[in-house]
């Protein structure tokens, strides 16, 4: 009798800081699916690409494409900021195309390649799903 083995998910990608601390490596380009809710629903649901730059345990993300109309979000504008630690994301804020900072909560997949973010504000809720862009080697 043969038994199927379940593959163990890859470990979350980390980076070692000069202090010796190891933290989640969030840097890179991420494919993003944005869903605007309630008052933000006029901006709809769309795909975007974020480039996240990490310096130490802090990170900042920018949009790589213009958001579709009527959103004023332009390529190069800041879309998120936060802090990471060894367990993932310690603090995160989504930044709307109008510049509003939304305190957010997130859940990271075991391998660190997918992040679900809920930005919440009583009037400006938004939901984003980020998937790390992977290089395919030939």
- Please report which confidence band the pLDDT of residue 24 belongs to, taking 50, 70 and 90 as the band edges: very high
Strand ranges in 1-125 using DSSP code E only, listed in sequence order: 14-16, 22-24, 28-36, 45-55, 58-63, 78-85, 88-95, 101-108, 114-119
d(CA 34, CA 90): 21
Percentage of the chain surpassing pLDDT 70?
87
Give the residue extent of every domain in the chain: 43-132
Predicted confidence at residue 124, as pLDDT, reads 65
Q: Which two tokens stand for residue 116?
A: 């679900």
pLDDT surpassing 60 at residue 1: no
d(CA 103, CA 123): 13
d(CA 67, CA 78): 12
pLDDT surpassing 90 at residue 92: yes
**Per-residue pLDDT averaged across 13-42, rounded?**
92
Q: Report helix, strand or coil for 40.
A: helix
pLDDT surpassing 80 at residue 73: yes
Could you tell me the sign of the dihedral formed by the alpha carbons of 70, 71, 76, 77, in that order?
positive
Mean pLDDT of the chain: 88
- Cis preceding-peptide flag for 21 (omega within 30 of 0): no
Among 4-13, 38-47, 56-65, name the most confident range. Answer: 56-65
Q: Model's pTM, two decimal places?
A: 0.85
Q: If you compute the radius of gyration of the chain from its CA atoms, what whole number of angstroms results?
A: 16
Q: Which two tokens stand for residue 63?
A: 């949009």
């Amino acid at each position: 009798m043969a038994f199927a083995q379940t593959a163990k998910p890859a470990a979350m990608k980390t980076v070692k800081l000069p202090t010796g601390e190891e933290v989640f490596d969030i840097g890179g380009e991420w494919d993003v699916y944005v869903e605007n809710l309630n008052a933000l629903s006029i901006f709809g649901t769309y795909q975007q690409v974020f480039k996240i730059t990490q310096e130490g345990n802090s990170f900042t993300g920018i949009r790589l494409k213009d958001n579709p109309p009527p959103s004023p979000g332009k390529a190069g504008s800041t879309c998120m900021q936060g802090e990471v630690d060894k367990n993932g994301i310690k603090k995160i804020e989504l930044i709307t195309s109008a510049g509003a900072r939304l305190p957010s909560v997130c859940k990271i997949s075991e391998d660190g390649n997918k992040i679900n973010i809920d930005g919440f504000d009583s009037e400006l809720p938004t939901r984003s799903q980020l998937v790390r862009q992977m290089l395919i080697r030939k």
